[in-house]
Amino acid sequence: MNVATQPTLNFTGNLQAVDNPGNTSTDVSLANTITGDHTFSGTTNGVGVSVATGNGLAGGTAFQVDTGTSAFSGNAVNIQSSGNFTGTLVNLSANSTTAGTILGISATSLTTGSVINANLGSAVYTNTLGAIRLTANSASSGRLLAVSGTTLGANGGTAASFATGTPTGTEDTTSKAVRVALGTVGNGYYANAATGYTGNFVTLQVNGSNVFSVSSTSVNTSANITQTGATTFSTGTGAVSLNGNTALNGDTTVASGNSVTATGGLSNFDFSASTGTFSTGSGAVALNGDVMIAANKNFTQNGTGTFATGSGNISLNGNVTIAANKSFTQSGTGAFSTGAGNVSLNGSIVTNISQTGAMTFSTGTGAVSLNGDVAIAADHSFTQNGAGAFATGSGMVSLNGDVTVATDKSFTQTGAGTFSTGTGNISLNGSIVTNISQSGTTTFSTGTGAVSLNGDTTLAGGKGLTAAAGAGNFNFSVSTGTFQTSSGAVSLNGNTTVTGTKTFNVNGGLTTLGAGLTVSAGTVGVTNGNLTLGTAGNKLNIATGSNASAGQAQGSNGIGTVVVTTTAVTASSLIFVTADSTIASNCAPATANVGELRVSLRTAGTSFTVASQTAPSNPNKLCFNWWIIN
C-alpha cells in the first residue's frame, strides 16, 4: 500500500509501516505476529482464509498454531458450524502423496487425556456406514488400522475397548488386546462370509503355530478342552470323533438313534475306576471279545428273561446256586457231565439212569450204594475219576490183572493194616502224602532225582545228616527262616561267604579263626567289646602305599614342613606322628633338636601337613612315621 507523504500517520490492528526510500514512500503491511483476537469472515462460496505457499515449501510449516506453555482449557483451533450442512467441516486432501502422513498427532506426555475424542452426544446415530469410517477398497496388502501398545500386557492395559451395553459382575483385571463389553442383548463378535468362503473366521496362534481356528466347516484346536460347572456339552447330529483319551466329568447322553463307536485299534472302554452301575439298552448286547468279571464280583440277571449261551463250552469256575423252587433243566440229547468235585443230588432221583455208548460214569467222593448186583460187561472196565476214594468191604479183593494208578493219582491205605509187596522192585513215582515210618536197621535210599521235604524234618538223637563225596549242596538261600546248629563244634571246611548286606554275629562266645580273617570289601566292626591281640608278638598289619592309612614320610632338606598325600584322612581323623631318623641317611637325628612334631593342616580326602617346632638344618630333613585312625 502506498500512502502519500503525511506529516503524521498512526497504524493500529497489527499494521506495520516500513520506510521505502527508494520510492520516497512508506510500505504498510500486516505484522509477522498478530496479537489479540481476530475474526475472518468470507462469502458463502469463497475461501475465508487461504494459506498458499506455492510449490516451494520443503521443510517449513504452512499453518501453525502455537499455544506455548499455556495451561488453557479452551480450543487451540476451533472449527464449528451451527447449520445442518451436508459437506465436510474439516477436509484434509493429499491425493498425490504415497508415503507421507495426512494427519499426524504427537502427544508424548499424554497420560489421562484423549488423542482423538469424537463425541456424538445425545444424537441417535442410525447410519450403518459408521460414525468413524476408514475406506480403502483398492488396498491389497498392509494394515488399514494398527493399534500398538507393547507394554500394555505387562501392566494390565487394554489396546481397544468396545461397549454395546453395560456388563455386570467383576471384570478380569489382566491385560486385554480387545475388550468387548455387552449388556443383555447383541453379539460380541460377528462375521458373515459369502458363499464359498474358504478362510478362517478365527485363527489363534502361539509362537506362529495354530492352537485354535474356526472355519465355515470346522472348529480345530491343539489345546485341551476343559468344561467346568454344571453346564451341558451338546454336539450336533453328525459323527463325533474322540481320537485321544476323553474325560467326561458330567452326565453324558447320546441322542436317540446315535451310537458310540471305536474305529479300530486298541481303543478301550474303561469304567474300572467307577463305583457306579453300567446299564445297556433293551436291544441285543454283543460282547465280541473275552469277558472277564473281576475277582469277588457277580454277574446277575433280573426279571423273567432267559440266559442263553452259544454252542461253545461254558466254564462255571465257582459255586453255582439255583434259587429256591427253581429248576436246572437240560433238553435235547446232549450229555450232562460234571467235574471231579462233589455232585449233590439232594432230592430223589425218580427216573432211570441209563448210560449208553462209550461215555463214562463217574461219582463223587461220597458213598455210592449199589443195592443190586453190578455187572460189568465183558472187555469193559470199572474206572473211577476225580478225587473220590474207592473202598471195598472187609473181604478179600482180588486184582487179577495189572493195576495202574493214573498219572498224578495216589494209592492210599488207611487203618492199622500192613501193606506188603512181593520181592520185586517198588517204584513210588508220585508224591507220598502219608507218614513213612521205618524201623530196624534197614536203610532208606532215594533215587537221583530231587527230594522235597515239605514238612518239618527231625533227626533222631545221636543221628547225623551226611553228604557223600561230590559237589552236593546244602542250600537254604531262598528261605527267610533262621539256621541253627547244635551246641557242638561247627566245622566250615570250605570258604564261607556272608552275602550282600548280611552280618556274621557272635553272641557271647569266643570265635577262633585259626588261619586268619580276610575281608575283601566292607568293614570289620566291634560294636560292643574290645579287639584284643592275646599273644605276645601279634600285631596289626596295615598296608602302606598310595592313599594308605599308615606310612613313612620324608621332607626336603632344611624344610620344617612335610605334606602327606592320602585320601584316607577325614575332617575328624586321629593322626599320630612319630619322628624316625632311621628312614633315610640324612634324616634329622635326635640331637638336631627340631622340637615337637604336630599336624598343622588337613584337607579331608586329600592330605595333611606335619610341621616341626624348628626346621632342621640343611642338609638334614624331617623324617617320621604316621598313622591315621578314623
Residues sharing a CB contact under 8 Å with residue 616, sequence separation 6 or more, in sequence order? 555, 557, 558, 559, 560, 588, 592, 594, 622
* Exposure letters 371-395 (e unless 16+ CB within 10 A, then b): eeeeeeeeeeeeeeeeebeeeeeee
Q: Tell me whether residue 452 is exposed, middle or buried, using C-beta atoms within 10 angstroms of its C-beta: 0 to 12, 13 to 18, 19 or more.
A: exposed
> Helix, strand, coil proportions of the chain in percent (round to 5)?
0, 15, 85
Could you say which DSSP state residue 136 is in?
-
Per-residue pLDDT, 574: 96
Peptide bond preceding 619 in cis form (omega within 30 of 0): yes
> Closest Cα partner for 611 from 513, 602, 352?
602
Greatest CA separation for the chain: 180
For residue 305, what pLDDT is reported?
79
For residue 431, give the nearest of 456, 412, 459 by alpha carbon. Answer: 412
Tens digit of pLDDT for each residue in 176-208? 999 999 999 999 999 999 999 999 999 999 999
**What is the separation, in whole angstroms, between the first and last Cα of the chain?**
118
Q: What was the pLDDT predicted at 87?
A: 84
What pLDDT does residue 363 have?
65
Q: Read off φ and ψ for residue 591, nearest 5 degrees.
A: -80, -5
Residue 516 has a pLDDT of 67
CA dist., res. 230 & res. 602, Å (int): 71
Q: What is the pLDDT of residue 586?
A: 93
Contact, 183 vs 166, CB < 8 A? yes
d(CA 552, CA 558): 18
Q: List, for the chain, all residue ranges whose pLDDT scores fall below the cut of 50.
A: none
pLDDT score, position 36: 67
Q: What is the pLDDT of residue 104?
A: 86
As given in the structure block, the three cell numbers for residue 154 are 505387562
Nearest to 340 by CA among 313, 312, 369, 365: 365
Q: Kindly state the cell numbers that stand for 74.
A: 479452551
Q: Which three cell numbers stand for residue 270?
A: 474303561
Over residues 31-46, the pLDDT tens digits come to 667 776 766 666 567 6
pLDDT in the model for residue 529: 72
Q: Which three cell numbers stand for residue 619?
A: 642338609
Task: Note whether 606 and 558 are within 8 A (CB).
Answer: no
CA dihedral for 505, 508, 511, 517, sign (positive or negative): positive
For residue 42, what pLDDT is reported?
A: 60
What is the structure's pLDDT at 131?
Answer: 84
3-state secondary structure of 610: strand
What is d(CA 175, CA 577) in angstroms, rounded to the nearest whole number? 74
Full-model pTM: 0.42
Q: In the block, which residue shows the cell 481397544?
A: 160
